[in-house]
Amino acid sequence: MHNPSQTAQLNPRKEFGNMNAENSPTSDLESQRNSPKTPIDPSDLSPPPPNGGLVAWLQVAAAFAVQFNTWGFVSSFGTFQTYYESGELFKASSARISWIGCTQNLLILLLGLIAGPVYDRGYLRQLLCVGSFIAVSSFIALSFSKRYYQVFLSQGVGLGLGSGLLFAPTMSLVSTYFSTRAGLALGIASSGSPIGGIVYPIMLSGLIPRIGFPWAVRAMGFIALGIFLLPLAVMRIRVRAPKPRAVVDWSAFRDTPYMFFLFGVFLSLITLPIVSFYISFYPLNRGFTNRNLAFHMVAIHNVGSFCGRILPNALSDHIGVFNTLAPSALLLGVAMISFIRMFNAAGIITGSLVTGFFGGVVVALPPVCFGVLTENKSLIGTRIGMGFAMAGLGLMASGPAAGAILRAPRNRLDWTGVWVYGGSVACASGLVFAIVRIMKSGLKLRAKV
C-alpha cells in the first residue's frame, strides 16, 4: 500500500493534493478553483520522518502503552464476563452483562470522530491528560461498584470514553515519525492490545481469590496509572496539519467497494466480541475446565491474537490484503462453529488459540484495506475514522444478541445457538470481503488487493 508519509517533505495537505492529481482529477479541479496558485510557504515545510532514533521509538513505546491500557483492557472483558455471570457482585442476564463490554468497544470507536480532529488542532497533551484521568478514575469507580448500573457506568461508559480519547490520536502520531518502517512501528504499537489482554486476565484471576474483586481492580488501576505516565512524558507532536481534516467524507457513500467493505467490517464486529466475551464462561459452564483454567482462557485467546496481528500482516504484503483477510474471516467462522464439537480442555485451548489467531487478522487488516480502497490518500484518516465509527454499530448486535440466544431456553444454556450465530456471521463477512476483492480486481491500484 502506498504510504503518504513516504513522499516529499512538504506539508501533508499540499503534498497529498499533488500526489493524487492523477488518481483524483475531480478533487484536483476543485482545489484549483477554490485555492489560489501561490508558491509554497517555507514555513509549511517539515522535515521528513526520522524513521528511527530514540525520540521516534519512544513514540512507539508510548503508543504500545496506550494500547495496553485501552484495547488491552477491552480484550480482557471475557474474564469479567465470567466473574459477573457468577452473580457474586450483582445479578444480571448474559445479554445485560455483554452490554458493558460492547458499550466500551463502541465508545472507543465513536470517540475517534472527536479525538481525531482535536488531535489535528494540536491538543495531544490535553487528550492524553483527560483520557488518562478518566480511564484511571473509572478503574477506581469500578472497584467500588456493587450494582449493575454502577459497573455499566464505570467500566462500559467511563473506560470507553477515556480509551476513546487516547486510541486514535496516539496511533496517528506514530505514523508521522515513520515512513519506510511504518508497518513495523505500527505493528509493535498495536501489539500492546493482545499483550494487555494476556496480562490483565491473568492478574485479575490471580488476585480475586486472594484480595477480592475491589482490590484486584484497584491494583489494575494503579498499574494503568503508572503505564500512562510514559505517553504523558514522551509523546510529542512532530507535524501539525495547517488545516484539520474533515470528520466525514461524503463522497465515500457513493463509493460502492468502500461501502461493501464497510458492511463486511460491520459483520466482523458482530462476531469478534462473541468469542472474546464467552471464551472463558463457556468451558466453565460446560465443565470442560476448572475455574482457574477458564479464567486464563482469555489470555490464551489473546496469545493467538498477538500472532494473528503480526504474521498475516507480513504475508499480506506478498499475496494481497484482501486475499489474506477474506479466507481468515471464513476460517474464523468455521473455528467458532467447531466449538460445538469440543468437549475437553485440550480442545478448548486449541479453539481459543485458533479463533484468537484469525480474529487478530480480522482486527489488524481492515485499516490497511481502507487505505487500499481510498484513492485520494489525503482522505485515509477521515475514511478510517468514519468507517470504524459506522461499522462499530455492529457491536450492538454482538455480545447482547449472543447473550439473548444463550439464555433463550428455560432449562439450559443454548451454546450451540451462540457459536452458530457468531460463526455464520463471520463466514458472511468473509464472503463480503471476497466480493470486494472481485470488485476491485479490475482496477489498477498501487497496492495489491
Burial label, 333 (beta-carbon count in 10 A; 0-12, 13-18, 19+): buried
Per-residue pLDDT at 34: 45
Number of domains in the chain: 2
pLDDT in tens, the chain (449 residues): 444 433 333 343 333 333 333 344 444 434 444 444 434 444 444 567 787 888 989 999 999 999 999 988 888 898 999 999 888 999 998 889 999 999 998 999 888 888 878 887 788 899 999 999 999 999 999 999 999 999 999 999 999 999 999 988 887 788 778 766 666 777 788 888 889 989 999 999 889 999 999 999 999 999 999 999 999 999 988 876 666 667 778 888 999 999 999 999 999 999 988 988 899 999 998 999 888 888 889 999 999 988 887 777 777 777 888 898 999 999 999 999 999 999 899 999 999 999 999 998 898 888 778 878 877 766 766 787 788 888 888 888 888 888 888 877 666 788 999 999 999 999 999 999 999 999 887 554 444 45
**Is 296 found in the same domain as 376?**
yes
How far is residue 407 CA from its own chain's centroid?
A: 28
**Is 256 found in the same domain as 220?**
no
- Name, in order, each residue with C-beta under 8 angstroms of 413's C-beta and a sequence gap of 6 or more: 285, 406, 407
Residue pair 136/228 in contact (Cβ under 8 Å)? The answer is yes
Per-residue pLDDT at 74: 86
Which candidate, 200, 187, 160, 192, places its Cα nearest to that of 78? 200
Give the cell for residue 20.
493524487
How far is residue 438 CA from its own chain's centroid?
A: 26
Q: How far apart are the first and last CA of the chain?
A: 9
Is residue 42, in this structure, part of any structural domain at all?
no
**Is 278 found in the same domain as 225?**
no
**Is 286 found in the same domain as 231?**
no
Residue pair 109/398 in contact (Cβ under 8 Å)? The answer is no
d(CA 442, CA 435): 12
Per-residue pLDDT at 252: 86
Per-residue pLDDT at 190: 81
**Is 415 found in the same domain as 271?**
yes
Query: Which amino acid type is present at position 286?
Result: R
Per-residue pLDDT at 33: 43
CA distances from 392 to 167, 191, 387 (A): 15, 21, 8
Point out the domain boundary residue: 192, 209, 237: 237
Is residue 242, in this structure, part of any structural domain at all?
no
**Is 198 found in the same domain as 224?**
yes
Residue pair 392/109 in contact (Cβ under 8 Å)? The answer is yes
Residue 316 half-sphere exposure toward CB, CA atoms < 13 A: 27
**Is 307 found in the same domain as 185?**
no
Per-residue pLDDT at 13: 34
Indicate the SS3 state at residue 128.
helix
Burial 54-63 (b: 16+ CB within 10 A, else e): eebbbbbebb
**Is 103 found in the same domain as 191?**
yes
C-alpha torsion 119→122→124→127, nearest 10:
-70
Is residue 37, in this structure, part of any structural domain at all?
no
Residue pair 405/94 in contact (Cβ under 8 Å)? The answer is no
Is residue 36, in this structure, part of any structural domain at all?
no
Per-residue pLDDT at 448: 46
**Is 228 found in the same domain as 366?**
no
**Is 228 found in the same domain as 287?**
no
Is residue 31, in this structure, part of any structural domain at all?
no
CA distances from 102 to 20, 32, 96, 174, 208 (A): 38, 45, 10, 27, 23
Is residue 419, in this structure, part of any structural domain at all?
yes
Per-residue pLDDT at 36: 41
Is residue 263, in this structure, part of any structural domain at all?
yes
In eight-state DSSP terms, residue 247 is: S
Is residue 406, in this structure, part of any structural domain at all?
yes
Looking at residue 211, which CATH number applies to its domain? Answer: 1.20.1250.20
d(CA 449, CA 444): 10
pTM of the model: 0.76
The boundaries of the domain holding residue 101 are 48-237
d(CA 124, CA 235): 8
Query: Which amino acid type is present at position 89?
Result: L
Point out the domain boundary residue: 184, 208, 237: 237
Give the cell for residue 401.
444478541
In eight-state DSSP terms, residue 154 is: I
**Is 307 found in the same domain as 348?**
yes
**Is 194 found in the same domain as 100?**
yes
In eight-state DSSP terms, residue 152 is: I
- Name, in order, each residue with C-beta under 8 angstroms of 72's C-beta and a sequence gap of 6 or more: 192, 193, 194, 195, 196, 197, 199, 200
Per-residue pLDDT at 446: 43
Point out the domain boundary residue: 237, 269, 295: 237
